[in-house]
Amino acid sequence: MNEFSAHERILGVDPGLQATGYAVIETGRTSAGVILAGVVRTDREAPLEKRLEQIHQGLSQVIRETSPRVAVVEELYSHYNHPRTAILMGHARGVIYFTARQHGLEVKSYSATRIKKFLTGNGRASKAQIQKTIQVSLKLDAPPEPPDVADALAVALCHCNVLGHKAGQEYRTGINNRIKK
């Protein structure tokens, strides 16, 4: 594990070709808070290369605005009945990794099971359980929406835990005002 400063900015990313969730959290010695969270949406009708470019542009803007040090991406999971989905998600993840490295960010990834187990103690927790846990951990008025944002917050919080930081600080800028749906 690397040595990290008292305040560290982490970009959590929930990869998706239609909607890529992102959340930038800032850690402190004893807590973490959200700087910015939202969704990069792509044009369904656009060709694949244009959609990947939209993801790249959206995440580049987030990185420039928030200056995170590390990007954390949920690992690819694919059901054997849907191999095409895995291939398309692989394209999105590739662009996310490229964008992060282009901006000088270290890239980490965790499995969905590990993220869920860290947050709830159950590797098979439901989306609702994850959202509720994030709400409580970050002292939010409501569970984070949409689910893409909740998943991005979850992966960022998982990495925060790996670094030895704890969540709990209220949002510094107010998530309701900073989520870009």
Question: Is 148 annotated in the active site?
Answer: yes
- The active-site residue, picked from 8, 53, 141, 148, is 148
Q: Which of 14, 43, 65, 106 is catalytic?
A: 14
CA dihedral sign of residues 76, 81, 82, 87: positive
The label of the residue with tokens 């998982």 reads 158
Residue 151 annotated among the catalytic residues of the structure: no
Is 49 in the active site? no
Active-site hit among 8, 26, 74, 151: 74
Q: Where are the beta strands (DSSP E) in the chain?
A: 8-14, 19-27, 32-41, 70-74, 106-110, 179-180
**In the 8-state DSSP scheme, what is residue 29?**
S
For the beta carbon of residue 176, count every other beta carbon within 10 angstroms: 12
Annotated catalytic residues are 14, 74, 148
